[in-house]
Structure 1
Amino acid sequence: MASHRRAKQPSRTRVTVLTTAAAAAVAMSSQAANAAPSEKPSKDEVQSKVDKLYEEAEAATEKFVGAREKSEKLEKQIDTLQDNVARGQEELNELRDGLGLMANSQYRTGAIDPSVQLFLSSDPDTYLDKASAMDQLSSQQVETLKKVQEKQRALAQQREEATGKLQDLADTRETLKQKKDEVKAKLAKAQKLLNTLTAAEKAALAAEDERASRAAERDAIGGGPIKPGSGRAGSAFSAAQGRLGSPYVYGASGPSSFDCSGLTSWAYAQAGVSIPRTSEAQAQYGTRINSVSDLQVGDLVFFFSDLHHVGLYAGKGQIIHAPRTGTVVRYESMNTIGGPFMWGVRV
């Protein structure tokens, strides 16, 4: 006969806990349902955040370009040093071979002196410090030994310098990688924000940017095309005018795309003037102009406290520059750059 047992009843405590948990779950679900959905940022908010990211990306770009330029210079310097060391080692070997021939000659004639053995030592300084032995050597041997000593010292110095530059190069390459990654991360974040906009909002932002650019161009050339100044500044400005509409590309220095300092360095190169590649270095290059009223067409103009943006003065408070990712070389009012005017430079 089957055994029938009465089902165990849940304790009062367990019932209370389950009831409380269920009630809390229902309350949270109700709150979630009634909560207002997270608001999508407005077109203007997105634009503001994107502009800030582009500004940060441009600052990182200038550091990237500076590190790249330094890396290239270090590589050339290291190549030169290594070539000098190789040639110096060959000369040292020849000098030592000459000393060996002298020693062999003395040995064959039976006139070799124990002091001559010091010629073949890897440390000729030890020998030269023994001044008392100098009178035992011929003048030719003394002169050759001195050359060996000088060559060894020069080689040691060059090797030490090359070692230091190799370490500097490794550090610079690491900085280069970091800044490149930083630029890419900023641009990717900006693009992600832009992707939250609708097609209509993107079109509206593009139209606003185009209107601002057209207005700046009208203000700059109102009353007729800008007459470039004379000399190299005028030639550089004319070259920049010829690149209006070229796209901004970080790290680019022409002739078909540019970043800000890439445009200015390229423009002056067309005028036969080699100026530094980065905006920070360009800001220290020529004669500083502190007042906007003293600027002339073609002068370099710098913005932001860290000097990470540069353009060419176009007169009437306008500049020609490569603004940022997604734009082209264009005229723009100095009042809409996004950062304060620091100073100008006349090359």
Structure 2
Amino acid sequence: MVTSAATIGASLLVAGPVQAAAAPQQAATVSALTSVSKARAAKQKSRANYAVRYAYKQIGDPYRYGGTGPGSWDCSGLAGGSWRKAGVKLPRTTQQIYRAVKFKVSWKGAVAGDLLFFYGGKSHMGIYVGNGYMIHAPGSGRRVKKVKLNSYYKRNFSGAVRPGY
């Protein structure tokens, strides 16, 4: 009986320090994941800023159905071209882009670089540039422009995504 008690006691002594040592390792893992997340978020934000700057340079270019630039654009071509210049490849059409980008955002949660989608079939999109504005290629006979996101756009909003993660 003394032998079994000694064995049990010994195993408890061994188990104690191992569990105590595991706690700092878990904290280090959580800290490492947080720093990776922060680095990833910083890289995404840098790419988003680049995409927005590129979109600004396209203001005044003509709309062309199927246009992927440079020189003329449709709405998804402009978004895809801007993000491509920032190092992120997106699919071709509005619906494909919305499905492919997994990071979804709300109307109120949008930040510069996010892609905003409109109408039930997500048939139109623009690049949010901050302060309640977006840049988009509005349609035939028109030119790429920056517009205020007024109540019309809010009523027709159908989703948003954040590329680059």
Gaps of 5+ in 2: 1-43
Q: Deviations over 1:231-267 (max 9, x none)?
A: 2111111110111100001111100000000100111
Check if 1:258 corresponds to 2:67: no
Q: Secondary structure in 2 aligned to 1:261? A: helix
Take 2:116 and 2:154, find their aligned partners in 1: how far apart are those partners? 14
Take 1:294 and 1:338, find their aligned partners in 2: how far apart are those partners? 13
Take 1:341 and 1:333, find their aligned partners in 2: how far apart are those partners? 13
Take 2:79 and 2:48, find their aligned partners in 1: how far apart are those partners? 11
Task: Give the counterpart of 1:236 among 47, 51, 66.
Answer: 51
Take 2:153 and 2:159, find their aligned partners in 1: how far apart are those partners? 14
Q: Deviations over 1:144-177 (max 9, x none)?
A: xxxxxxxxxxxxxxxxxxxxxxxxxxxxxxxxxx
- Conserved? CA contact 1:240–1:267, under 8 Å: yes
Q: Deviations over 1:175-201 (max 9, x none)?
A: xxxxxxxxxxxxxxxxxxxxxxxxxxx
Amino acid at match of 1:236: A
Take 1:240 and 1:288, find their aligned partners in 2: how far apart are those partners? 21
Take 1:337 and 1:230, find their aligned partners in 2: how far apart are those partners? 24
Check if 1:282 corresponds to 2:77: no
Take 2:159 and 2:69, find their aligned partners in 1: how far apart are those partners? 25
Aligned to 2:20: none
- Conserved? CA contact 1:248–1:259, under 8 Å: yes
Take 2:49 and 2:154, find their aligned partners in 1: how far apart are those partners? 26
Deviation at 1:337, TM superposition (A): 4.4
Take 1:236 and 1:323, find their aligned partners in 2: how far apart are those partners? 18
- Conserved? CA contact 1:320–1:331, under 8 Å: yes
| % identity of equivalent residues | 36
Total equivalences in the alignment: 118
- Give 4+ residue runs of structure 1 displaced > 6 Å after superposition: none
Q: Which has more helix, going by share of residues?
A: 1
Deviation at 1:338, TM superposition (A): 9.0
Take 1:276 and 1:304, find their aligned partners in 2: how far apart are those partners? 19
Deviation at 1:343, TM superposition (A): 1.4
Task: Give the counterpart of 1:245 among 49, 55, 60.
Answer: 60
Q: Secondary structure in 1 aligned to 2:142? A: coil
Aligned to 2:120: 305
Q: Secondary structure in 2 aligned to 1:283? A: helix
1:78-93 superposed matches below 5 A: none
Distance 1:247 1:337, change over 3 A: farther
Take 1:338 and 1:327, find their aligned partners in 2: how far apart are those partners? 21
TM-score by length of 2: 0.67
1:1-347 superposed matches below 5 A: 230-286=45-101, 287-290=103-106, 292-335=107-150, 336-337=152-153, 340-347=156-163
Q: Secondary structure in 2 aligned to 1:314? A: strand
Q: Which has more strand, going by share of residues?
A: 2
Choose between structure 1 and 2 for higher RCO, CA contacts under 8 A separated by at least 6 residues: 2
Amino acid at match of 1:261: S
Q: Secondary structure in 2 aligned to 1:230? A: helix
- Conserved? CA contact 1:268–1:275, under 8 Å: yes
RMSD: 1.7
Amino acid at match of 1:265: G
- Conserved? CA contact 1:248–1:323, under 8 Å: yes
Amino acid at match of 2:104: R
Instruction: Find the structure with the greater CA-based Rg.
Output: 1
